[in-house]
Amino acid sequence: MKFQEKMKKKIIFGVILVLSISRVMATNFNIIPYPQHLIPQKGKFAFKKQTNIIYDAENPELKKLVEQFSNQIELVSSFKLKKADRESAISNNIVFKLSTDKSENTEAYQLNVSAKNITIEASTPNGIFYGLQTLYQMMPPEIYGKTKAKSTKWIVPAAEITDKPRFSYRGLHLDVCRHYFPLEFIKKYIDAMAIHKLNRFHWHLTDDQGWRIEIKKYPKLTEIGSKRAETLIGYYYERFPQEFDGKPHEGYYTQEEAREIVKYAADRFIQVIPEIEMPGHAQAALAAYPYLSCNNNPNIKVATKWGIFEDVYCPRDTTFQFLKNVLTEIMDIFPSKYIHIGGDECPKTRWQQCADCQAIIKRENLKDEHELQSYFIKRIEKFVNSKGRRIIGWDEILDGGLAPDATVMSWRGIRGGIAAAKSGHDVIMTPTSACYFDFYQSDPETEPTTIGGFTPLSKVYSFEPIPTELTEQESTHILGAQANVWTEYMATTENVEYMVFPRIAAMSEVLWCNKDNRSWDLFCRRMPTQFARYKQLNIQPSNAFYSVSFQSNLTADNKLQITLNCDYPNAKIKYSINGKERVYTTPFILNESAEITASAFEKGEKLGKSSSKSYIVSKLTGANYSLNVKNTGYNGGNVFPLTDGVKGNTKVSNQWLSIRDESDTEIIIDLKEPKEISKFSVGLLSAPGFCARLSPEIKLFGSTDGENYQLLSKKELTTPATPTWEIFRPELSFAKTEVRFLKLQLKDAGACPEVALNRSNKSMLMIDEIAAW
């Protein structure tokens, strides 16, 4: 029977059975990403001394896969599998079979396991490779070990699997510019990609903070551009003035090493896509060759902090010749179809001030500097296309007009991807909301410092790469998606692993499985086995999967309701309120201010680490209020963040209400009914980095009718001179008073004493929870 016909029949039969046996599949087949169609069978295959591997020894790619498999089996077990061109026995064979009937999808495979034999069949070695990855995951996690496993039964449950990926582009990115990582870690990273059936490694090689690839024609790119004098300490806005570690940071990959990575990845059917940033994020290159800048500034240095910098490539002919020479060497190293040319976050200030740039705008009849960037990208694309390659760029390449054959990487949400697909361009979806693995993955207060955001495992898993706004035809331009790993706050390989794993497991399933074949519940049931694999691979993941998360909401009668959750389905949650322990069953009402500590358990054993969260409950909880100013920024993600019971912290800004206005702030709170109070508090943040200052004077007034107010209390405050941010919670005490309305007045703090990191001399007022008792 032809390979395609067999696949179609298996698919039809699989669809009939898949719903009824889904929970059985999750229990017995902890495969990630999960196959499109899996039908459990009776029995199991057991490895024996007599087990043979049957394959076509004349096919070098197949031979390589067989060697990889047999060597790993021998490493972790006592079995040295025999190899043969044909079946020498009726049973206990592992057959690698290349079908002569070519499948439409070169990554498709069939894997059949019975008590007698195992057969992996595909039309290409690529398909065989993915069948082999699935076979590994049907075996004990010790298959991924580096030494012989003790007391492990090498058995495989019987099943019939028909599988292929949903998307052709399944990517993982790594920024090695903010922090350089050794070659061996890059290989480990690629190994992990292969296990998750990812096939595109986006290698971010150049940026403001370092040039990491050898270019023989321009040796200063690595002699100067790969070295920065020091690195910013802590979060970007954490201190003002900013502090630096005083330690040089350097490193780059030789062309020989880069070729080694390309081959290493190709052996695992992964394409390496290099990124050479332009026209922005170029400060390391400009430090090496100042003539590439618009003002030929010899004082430009490799950046020592994060952010966006004004100095960018100047679009002169000399710059284009430099970039063509660089890309020629890059394309000689990397055989990938795509070359990523960046295109993001390019300030236009230098171009606006540059006579040569303005002359180009006039000569080319361009509208403005945005069209000048489009002109820049199109010239580079024309050169790359002439070498038989295509460019990828971040979605800013849409600004000013998209290059004819460019593929867009949509990161600023999904709108850029939608626009590109509708105009007939290929798209790789990578929105920050689901695909940026430098965002927090658990409660920020308990996590290592990151750039911000919040992307837990569940949010990654719920990501759908194809927007509903696209037609079926337009959707064909969505090639897939990619997880991005920007390393400003990942200085070590352990940091990278912590941020990437296990979220990449969720992304792999998003990209491999059909939409209707994904189940968050079943995915979570498979994850403990995945963690066991990570342990064998010496990968150090985040264990937030086993930690308890908190969610708070206000009920209709303004009570603060707390919900506890753990991703691990078998977890039993225990929690304590101010030291009193309880077992969690359903959401509960918190009637007083408290710190809640919670942990997950299974069979009496604690899982993960304990989680704690403090809440404020007062007579203002859930109260409505109004402000006299409109220039507000962060708002906590809800309508009334000042009375939701949740305190702000110094890890993320979005729980704070931020106000930048040149007048005093006034907040009127409606308690809905008269209540007696004698104490009031408000949270304030002092953060010199973005000029968040304390109000020099706060006043509290009370009223029974909302018109006639009397002063209850006031307090003068002084913004501290310390360089770091700090939270204050001043309290106002007064005689017990019955009020229906409260008016809080906060005096404007005026101008910043120094221009802050956000380049504003106007101070900002940042307020969190207000409370009264």
Catalytic sites, residue numbers: 207, 281, 345
CB-based burial of residue 317 (10 Å sphere; 0-12 exposed, 13-18 middle, 19+ buried)? exposed
First to last CA, the chain: 79
Q: Which residues of 649-659 are buried (b: 16+ CB within 10 A; e: fewer)?
A: bbbbbbbbbbb
Describe the chain by its helix, strand, coil percentages, rounded to 5.
Answer: 30, 30, 40
Q: Residue for token digits 């592992």?
A: 94
Collapsing DSSP to helix, strand or coil, 274 comes out as strand
CB-based burial of residue 4 (10 Å sphere; 0-12 exposed, 13-18 middle, 19+ buried)? middle
- Write out the H or E segment, with its range, that includes residue 667: strand 665-686
CB-based burial of residue 612 (10 Å sphere; 0-12 exposed, 13-18 middle, 19+ buried)? middle
**CA–CA separation, 411 vs 148, rounded Å?**
44
Please give the full DSSP string across 138-173, using - where no structure is assigned: HS-GGGG-SSPPSS---EEEEEEEEE--S-SEEEEE
* Among 363, 372, 370, CA closest to 319: 372
Collapsing DSSP to helix, strand or coil, 67 comes out as helix
- Establish whether the linkage from the previous residue to 33 is cis, with ω within 30° of 0: yes
- Write out the H or E segment, with its range, that includes residue 478: strand 478-483
CB-based burial of residue 290 (10 Å sphere; 0-12 exposed, 13-18 middle, 19+ buried)? middle
Beta bridge partners of 243: none
Could you give the count of Cα atoms lying within 13 Å of 570 in the half-sphere of its Cβ?
13
Residue ranges in 233-354 assigned as alpha helix (H): 255-266, 283-288, 317-333, 349-353
Backbone angles phi, psi at 15, to 5 degrees: -60, -35
CB-based burial of residue 759 (10 Å sphere; 0-12 exposed, 13-18 middle, 19+ buried)? exposed
**CA–CA separation, 275 vs 278, rounded Å?**
9
CB-based burial of residue 691 (10 Å sphere; 0-12 exposed, 13-18 middle, 19+ buried)? buried
Cα 535 versus chain centre, distance = 22
- Which is it for strands 572-577 and 594-602: parallel, antiparallel or unpaired? antiparallel
The contacts of residue 222 (CB under 8 Å, 6+ apart) are 211, 213, 214, 215, 252
Q: How many CB atoms lie within 10 A of CB 412?
A: 15
* Among 592, 567, 564, CA closest to 577: 592
**CA–CA separation, 170 vs 435, rounded Å?**
12
* Among 627, 620, 763, 614, CA closest to 681: 620
Largest CA distance in the chain: 99
Residues, the chain: 773
- Which is it for strands 117-122 and 93-98: parallel, antiparallel or unpaired? parallel
Query: For 1-127, where are the E strands, in sequence order?
Result: 37-46, 52-54, 82-84, 93-98, 109-113, 117-122
**Does the CA dihedral 98-99-101-103 come out positive or negative?**
negative
- And the tokens for 163? 């599988």
The contacts of residue 399 (CB under 8 Å, 6+ apart) are 370, 373, 374
